[in-house]
Amino acid sequence: MLLRDEQVPLLLKRKHVVSGYRPLNQPKSFYLKSAFSSHNEVFNVWTHFIPAIILFFAYLIPELLSPLPRVPVLILQVGIVLLLIASSMAHLMHSRSELDHVFWFLIDFSGIALFGITIGLQRYSSSDHMSLIMKIIYVPLLLIVVLGGQYFSTCYLFVFKPHYKRRMELRMGSCFLLACWLYIPLHYRYQDPESAGDPALPLHSRAFQWLVFSGIFMGAHIPERFAPGFFDIVGYGHQLFHLCIDMVAWNLLDAANLDCSSDEGHVHLPRNIVAVSALIASIVIIGFNVHRMMQKAKTKRYDE
């Protein structure tokens, strides 16, 4: 039997979503099976799981099996797969308890962080237009903006101040700062007089436009704020946010395919090494952060 919002802990409630919550403290198999039943998270599960499967078989596997796999393209594809799988699993499993909720959404935030990092690394690795100074400082500052700004602040507020009323605004602001930094490698191309002939730039631009739309749906809780209870199962803002993120990923994948030629591995080998090293370091740092945050979460009360 599905629950109403007054029957679940405050941490698990969604603004303006009145019903459709799954019961708590059930076996893990219950939540896995709930992927095939009706509740207010099922749409969130499938809108990222299905694209992850399509991406894996239609993009990632063919790239790996190609005669000359392109490192920047593979980095981006891995980042998007991790984002989609982390998100779908978080929405599937988080409702078991408050502690499960914290763990799975730390995993979700980790996928988002790796998504941002891999976008920046792909653009850095495949760019021929960045100045020498920017080539030197871009990746370290990318990691600072993502890990030191967007990711750690999001995790800290989520674990220690989950009910802070400005948490969503700070999260959206840090994501916007990251989005701007991710476009630094493209700045030179947009300034090029011949940019009109660059087929990848419109795809990069559309990715940013879809990202803005996604933020509006998630941050403003549209449309459910105008009709609480009406969009509980299908149609509330976070679900539309997922669809927008799918469009962001699709445009980024097609843009990366145009950005990276088949011989880029020989031309950009030093940058590819830097990008792979940065991705591995990021995964290690993020894994350690999840471990530490969960230790802190076990000592917290979330019903205050």
Annotated binding-site residue numbers: 91, 238, 242
Cβ neighbours of 141 (radius 10 Å): 15
The whole-angstrom separation of Cα 275 and Cα 303 is 42
Write the CB contacts of 154 (distance below 8 Å, at least 6 apart in sequence): 109, 112, 171, 174
The whole-angstrom separation of Cα 304 and Cα 296 is 16
Write the CB contacts of 158 (distance below 8 Å, at least 6 apart in sequence): 102, 105, 106, 109, 167
Angle among Cα 60, 65, 69 to the nearest 5 degrees reads: 75
The maximal CA–CA distance of the chain, rounded, in angstroms, is 61
Annotated binding-site members for Zn(2+): 91, 238, 242
Per the structure block, which two tokens stand in for 33? 């099976």
Write the CB contacts of 242 (distance below 8 Å, at least 6 apart in sequence): 43, 44, 47, 48, 87
Angle among Cα 263, 192, 144 to the nearest 5 degrees reads: 70
Q: What is the DSSP letter of 34?
A: G
Buried b / exposed e over 227-240, threshold 16 CB at 10 Å, is: ebeebbbeebbbbb
